[in-house]
Amino acid sequence: MTKHLLSIFAFMAISFAVQGLSHFVINKDHFAGIDFMRSDPIIPLGLFVMVIQGLIMTIALKRFAPTGATIRDGLVVSLAFGLFLIAYIAIVEPSKYAVPSISAWFLIEGPVGLIQFSVFGIILGLIHKKMG
């Protein structure tokens, strides 16, 4: 149970760090130019989703590697879920919403998502690491 809780908290921390840096520092102008974004996001809903996502990935890794994981196992699980999610965020969202630039959207959301899920995959593998 401790590994699952640590994994959830790790996902939340990494998501906040990577996505927060992207949204509020590095790509601040890009996100400020999006008309349909809330000026005040509903933080509890975002936290709730992160708990669900972290829980799904930690349980999936436990099923994928029941006797203990490697960093590679953590990356495989995290990137599998991450790529599934990134495909929607980076490719489908700009096809549905009037974003200022489809290419900019793709070039920001794609790599940032890959960084987020790669870093988490490494940490997830370390948390669930085989002992001995």
pLDDT digits (tens, 9 = 90+) for 26-67: 988 877 777 777 777 788 998 999 999 999 999 999 999 998
Distance CA 25, CA 90 (A): 19
Please report which confidence band the pLDDT of residue 94 belongs to, taking 50, 70 and 90 as the band edges.
confident
- Look at residue 30 in the predicted model and tell me its pLDDT: 77
pTM, rounded to two decimals: 0.88
Q: What is the mean pLDDT of the chain?
A: 91
Residues 61-89 pLDDT 10s = 999 999 889 999 999 999 999 999 999 99
More confident residue, 83 or 101: 83
